[in-house]
């Protein structure tokens, strides 16, 4: 039971990081990690917005029963990450 839970969590994390990596057209968890690290160094709000957007988009894709292989490749989560980044930039511009 513990191994299955750990595998599910690591698969979800890889999916999330691939979604972020898809922003630069690289379905790779390492690329997503590098992007998130850069946003964390430059601005915590950007990293948080990208993560929240990617999580929301991936959860929506799962609930809408989209193809699992496409979701795991990050194809459904990167738009949410981009939307989160855009919302963060727009809200900052208004302040």
Token pair in block for residue 66: 């989209």
* C-alpha span between 77 and 95 (Å, rounded): 28
pLDDT at position 13:
93
* C-alpha distance across the termini of the chain, in Å: 48
> Mean pLDDT across the stretch 29-35?
96
Mean residue pLDDT across the chain: 91
pLDDT at position 1:
53
pTM of the model: 0.87
């Amino acid at each position: 039971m513990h191994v299955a839970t750990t595998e599910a969590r690591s698969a979800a994390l890889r999916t999330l990081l691939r979604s972020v990596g898809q922003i630069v057209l690289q379905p790779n968890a390492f690329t997503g990690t590098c992007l998130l690290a850069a946003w964390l160094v430059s601005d915590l709000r950007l990293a948080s917005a990208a993560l929240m957007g990617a999580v929301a988009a991936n959860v929506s894709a799962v609930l809408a029963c989209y193809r699992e292989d496409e979701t795991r490749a990050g194809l459904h989560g990167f738009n949410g990450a981009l939307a989160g980044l855009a919302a963060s930039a727009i809200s900052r511009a208004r302040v």
